[in-house]
Structure 1
Amino acid sequence: MFIFEAMGESFKIMILEDSVLVKVISLKNEIEKRQNVINELKDTMNFSFFDAIDGRNLLSMKYFKYLRMLKGRAKKRGYITPSELGCTLSHFSVYHDFLNSDKEWLLVLEDDITINSNLFFLIESIINQNYSDYINILGGQEGLKRPRLIEFLFRKNIRILSSPFYGFFLYRTCSYLVSRAVVERLYSTHKNFCYLADDWGNIAIQSNIRGFTYCKIFSHPEDLSNSRIECERK
């Protein structure tokens, strides 16, 4: 499934095209972010960019259509911002593209991640141990308000969270790995309801997901001043 070669203390990894599809979600005009991703991943894996949907450009008719479909955290607060909706629709579209491929696993990344761990070893472990009924979160919890949970998650290379309710303590969609079976369920959920993309707890329950695994392969910036989503939430 994987090919790797030792390079000093690091590994050069190639994820073969017949097993894992790697998609990086990024707005088409985010040239600098895209170049940073290329610099991070070019010697690590084959990947392609998915042109993210900019929710600010959606027609009002489409926006209000999804507003009537709100579930979970978004329904509780009564709205979803245009950029949040764009994020949700981008991930939904990636699921659609993946299901039209012949791959067995989908690795979804966003354009603000950095690698900080042994990518090959941990992803190989997730696949080989067959966490195919889990949503495998690969980091990105930096700067959140639950330091004790983060400390708990980091005690092992791969932390198994065998309940969908753990999703209520996990945030962001910047890096996760899912099997075809899980993507099919996520796609069905997003086709019928409108959740915030990182409403993992409610999405997992609605999608009948067994639970989560967590390992810190990728990091997310703690400074959110340049985040469109965060700016719209203020």
Structure 2
Amino acid sequence: MKVFIINLEKYAARKNHALNQCQNIGLQAEVFNAIDGRLLSPQDIKDQTHPELSAGLTESEIGCALSHQGVYQKMLSENIDVALVLEDDVQFDDNSCDIISYLVANIPKHPTLYLLSDVRKYLRGGKKISASEHKLVTVSQAALAHAYIINLSAAKKLYDFMNPVWLEADRWTYLIECGVVDIKAVVPAVGHLSELSHESTIWHCEAELERKKIIRELRKVTVNKIRKKRPLLIKVKNSMWRIFMRPFFEIKRD
């Protein structure tokens, strides 16, 4: 299994933290140089983003999305069957390696992604992970992209679906609604956010923090537009699930 740590080259302390996290649980990792969206020219951004549906994304969020897509592209070019994708603010539990090894050994061939992080909502039940207190559950709502396992077919689906950039790298809930890949999660989570996560590399200075409210309002409008553009079949499918299937499931929050 390949392990990729997505890291901006200038953040050496974050890189070393993530490498140490992997070493501590017996994983060998490769650093994938992230794209700093703030260094992209206006033409670069225009060339690599959707002209309408990327509205409200910051340059840093665009760089983050391009970085994850870069990992998917590497998996495709090198025919990597399965990979563990990490951001440099990840924090592992002591037993994370056993859980990861189990998931990698049992990941199916169809497009599948396993979140190792906390998720917002998931369906009760799930599949018990052998010799542990953990289980693999079906995700209903989730965000964050700092720790997940992805197979090759899912990497291809996500790259094709999200390129050029028009979604955040961790817009998992929308991907679930559209049925792009099968997204499940480990409960309890084994890949957490470290204290480094409080030092945002997206909202990285006072000037951007002041723009945050305006940018987020623009993104909210754009996301509503994205949802309206969903194919009719997907809208019907999600409506039917909410009406006829959801009452039979208990959705837990984590």
Q: Could you say which TM-score interval applies, normalised by the shorter chain? A: 0.7 to 0.9
Partner of 1:48: 30
**Contact 2:143–2:173 (CA<8 Å) still a contact in 1?**
no
Structure holding more helix per residue: 2
Sort the Cα spacing of 1:223 and 1:35 in 2 relative to 1 into closer, same or farther, 3 A.
closer
**Contact 2:113–2:181 (CA<8 Å) still a contact in 1?**
yes
Letter in 2 for 1:183: A
Partner of 1:208: 180
Q: Following the alignment from structure 2 to structure 1, what is the Cα–Cα distance between the partners of residues 38 and 73?
A: 22
Q: Structure 1: 5+ residue runs without aligned partners?
A: 1-19
Partner of 1:15: none
Partner of 1:128: 105
What does 1:171-210 align with in structure 2 at a 5 Å threshold? 171-206=143-178, 208-210=180-182
Q: How far has the Cα of 1:123 moved from its partner?
A: 1.7
CA RMSD of superposed structures (Å): 2.9
Partner of 2:117: 139
Out of 89, 101, 105, which is 2:66 matched to?
89
Q: How far has the Cα of 1:213 moved from its partner?
A: 2.8
**Contact 2:112–2:153 (CA<8 Å) still a contact in 1?**
no
What does 1:37-116 align with in structure 2 at a 5 Å threshold? 37-43=18-24, 44-65=26-47, 66-68=49-51, 70=53, 78-116=55-93
Q: How far has the Cα of 1:40 moved from its partner?
A: 1.7
Out of 2, 6, 16, which is 1:35 matched to?
16
Q: Following the alignment from structure 1 to structure 2, what is the Cα–Cα distance between the partners of residues 87 and 63?
A: 13
Q: Following the alignment from structure 1 to structure 2, what is the Cα–Cα distance between the partners of residues 109 and 85?
A: 17
Q: How far has the Cα of 1:178 moved from its partner?
A: 0.8
Q: How far has the Cα of 1:39 moved from its partner?
A: 1.9
Sort the Cα spacing of 1:153 and 1:173 in 2 relative to 1 into closer, same or farther, 3 A.
farther
Out of 84-93 and 96-105, give the one that drifted further.
96-105
Letter in 2 for 1:25: I
Q: Following the alignment from structure 2 to structure 1, what is the Cα–Cα distance between the partners of residues 108 and 134?
A: 14
Q: Structure 2: 5+ residue runs without aligned partners?
A: 213-254
What does 1:13-32 align with in structure 2 at a 5 Å threshold? 20-32=1-13
**Contact 1:23–1:48 (CA<8 Å) still a contact in 2?**
yes
Larger radius of gyration: 2
Partner of 1:220: 193
Relative to the length of structure 1, the TM-score reads 0.73
Percent identity (aligned) = 22
Matched residue count: 198
